[in-house]
């Protein structure tokens, strides 16, 4: 399932395919959002199956008072990828996104970048696809109702991914800002959901077998308290993804079986930063490969403590690179210097003098 990308795909070794936001939107709409999420989920699942082949490191975070900027690298030995991503919860007040991102895929054998792409939209898609993959193994059988608390940028993607992979078609929405809930409900019209707009998180969780939390606040928040969570539910905790930024009361964690992406990163960033450093957790890749159990019974409370790991972004980059061969939604970026004599970089520069 590995993609070897040829840097010369468009016209020459100096040219790197670049997927702008505009082209990403065209690509996603060309494929169809549900199909895109389902196909991307399959790529993520494939890469989780070959987890041991990847370089792994907790992402490299630069924290400030307002937010965080992170680099997320990984390689499978053939292809290297990284994502630049920020998280600034206060941004939306100024009309800016909480999360923006871009990413690169490179050929390990030459080191040449082979794809540069926007990843703000792609991150929302890959986060939702990963959540749905986890839920396939962890959510109660035949779950059809999901609460989504936090109805911002990620929320519609989560809803559609859970519909595409699990058949969830009933949503209970809550946000402290009712206009976010109205936006989410309006955006999901025509996608086959029965939607209830709720006035509290407590109301939203009633009757839901899956609880998704996707709020943004740079603090220890308590979006769900212990009494709100009945046995047998699956919690998809997306918003707690930074030191000092969590969404669940600690007692919920103590009652749940906890599943994570990459423990060294999740222990720093996830809900489990509230627990002892040796509190037992299962790794999602172990569940997907059948080495660890996922859901074992109807009363088990499962928690996917999602923070977002580099391998998911690698899968997303790999998926987009593969899609571009049939759907060429990219520009050609003159990004790499390519002198006729590889050692004559200076000469190439000087020869450009008279060019314009
Ligand atoms: N786990 C991952 O892989 C991953 C990936 C992307 C984003 N995230 C995180 O997911 C969260 C959501 O991201 P987004 O881009 O949708 O952000 P966003 O700012 O667009 O939306 C967040 C929403 O949460 C609401 N909110 C804040 N506090 C709340 C509360 N107490 N109760 C209910 N609603 C509340 C806000 O009003 C807002 O509408 C962020 O914290 C982000 O960092 C995680």
Helix (H, G, I), strand (E, B) or coil at 34: helix
Atom of ligand 1 nearest to the CA of 174: 33
Kindly give the confidence (pLDDT) of every residue in the chain, 356 residues in length, as a single tens digit, with 9 standing for 90 and above: 334 454 334 557 889 999 999 999 999 999 999 999 999 999 999 999 999 999 999 999 999 999 999 999 999 999 999 999 999 999 999 999 999 999 999 999 999 999 999 999 999 999 999 999 999 999 999 999 999 999 999 999 999 999 999 999 999 999 999 999 999 999 999 999 999 999 999 999 999 999 999 999 878 999 999 999 999 999 999 999 999 999 999 999 999 999 999 999 999 999 999 999 999 999 999 999 999 999 999 999 999 999 999 999 999 999 999 999 999 999 999 999 999 999 999 999 999 997 76
Ligand 1 touching residue 150 (CB < 6 A): yes
What is the C-alpha separation between 18 and 320, in angstroms, rounded? 11
Retrieve residue 201's tokens. 């998180």
**Cα torsion 93, 161, 71, 213: sign:** positive
- Answer whether 320's CB lies under 8 Å from 83's CB: no
Atom of ligand 1 nearest to the CA of 152: 21
Q: pLDDT at position 13, please?
A: 80
Residue 241 is a catalytic residue: yes
Ligand 1 touching residue 241 (CB < 6 A): yes
What is the C-alpha separation between 324 and 129, in angstroms, rounded? 20
Architecture of domain 131-308 in CATH?
3-Layer(aba) Sandwich (3.40)
What is the C-alpha separation between 1 and 50, in angstroms, rounded? 10
Where does the chain hold its CATH 3.40.50.720 domain(s)?
131-308
Query: pLDDT tens digits, residue range 41-50?
Result: 999 999 999 9
Give backbone dihedrals phi and psi of 18, rounded to 5 degrees, phi first.
Answer: -125, 125
Q: pLDDT at position 7, please?
A: 38
Ligand 1 touching residue 215 (CB < 6 A): yes
Ligand 1 center from residue 123 Cα (angstroms): 13
Q: pLDDT at position 356, please?
A: 65
Q: pLDDT at position 2, please?
A: 39
Where does the chain hold its CATH 3.30.1780.10 domain(s)?
15-121+311-337
Ligand 1 touching residue 308 (CB < 6 A): yes
Query: pLDDT tens digits, residue range 57-69?
Result: 999 999 999 999 9
Ligand 1 touching residue 92 (CB < 6 A): yes
What is the C-alpha separation between 184 and 258, in angstroms, rounded? 28
Of the residues 214, 224, 237, 240, which should be mutated to test ligand 1's pocket, given the most ligand atoms within 8 Å of the CB?
Answer: 214
| Among candidate residues 178, 278, 326, 301, the one with its CA nearest the CA of residue 229 | 301
Burial class (CB in 10 A: 0-12, 13-18, 19+), 231: exposed
Ligand 1 touching residue 177 (CB < 6 A): yes
Catalytic residue among 47, 76, 175, 241: 241
Superfamily covering domain 15-121+311-337: ornithine cyclodeaminase, domain 1 (3.30.1780.10)
- Answer whether 122's CB lies under 8 Å from 316's CB: yes
Q: pLDDT at position 4, please?
A: 42
Of the residues 94, 128, 150, 178, which should be mutated to test ligand 1's pocket, given the most ligand atoms within 8 Å of the CB?
Answer: 150
């Amino acid at each position: 399932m590995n993609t070897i990308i040829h840097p010369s795909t468009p016209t020459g070794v100096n040219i790197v395919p670049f997927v702008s936001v505009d082209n990403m939107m065209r690509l996603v709409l060309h494929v169809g959002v549900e199909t895109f999420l389902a196909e991307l989920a399959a790529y993520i699942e494939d890469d989780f199956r070959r987890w041991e082949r990847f370089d792994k490191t907790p992402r490299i975070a630069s924290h400030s008072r307002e937010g965080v900027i992170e680099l997320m690298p990984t390689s499978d030995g053939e292809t290297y990828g990284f994502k630049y991503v920020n998280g600034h919860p206060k941004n939306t007040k100024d009309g800016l996104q909480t999360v923006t991102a871009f990413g690169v895929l490179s050929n390990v054998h030459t080191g040449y970048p082979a794809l540069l792409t926007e990843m703000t939209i792609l991150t929302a898609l890959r986060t939702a696809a990963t959540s749905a993959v986890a839920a396939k193994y962890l959510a109660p059988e035949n779950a059809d109702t999901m609460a989504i608390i936090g109805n911002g940028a990620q929320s519609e993607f989560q809803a559609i991914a859970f519909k595409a992979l699990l058949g969830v078609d009933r949503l209970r929405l809550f946000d402290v800002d009712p206009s976010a809930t109205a936006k989410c409900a309006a955006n999901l019209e025509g996608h086959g959901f029965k939607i209830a707009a709720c006035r509290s998180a407590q109301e939203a969780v009633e009757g839901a077998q899956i609880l998704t939390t996707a709020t943004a606040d740079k603090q220890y928040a308590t979006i769900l308290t212990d009494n709100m969570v009945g046995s047998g539910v699956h919690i998809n905790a997306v918003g707690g993804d930074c030191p000092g930024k969590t969404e669940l009361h600690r007692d919920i964690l103590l009652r749940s079986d906890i599943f994570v992406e990459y423990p060294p990163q999740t222990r720093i960033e996830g809900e489990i930063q509230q627990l002892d450093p040796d509190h037992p957790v299962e790794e999602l890749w172990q569940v997907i490969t059948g080495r660890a159990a996922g859901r074992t019974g109807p009363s088990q409370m499962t928690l996917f403590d999602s923070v977002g790991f580099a391998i998911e972004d690698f899968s997303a980059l790999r998926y987009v690179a593969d899609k571009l061969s049939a759907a060429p939604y990219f520009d050609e970026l003159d990004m790499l210097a390519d002198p006729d004599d590889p050692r004559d970089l200076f000469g190439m520069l000087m020869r450009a003098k008279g060019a314009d």
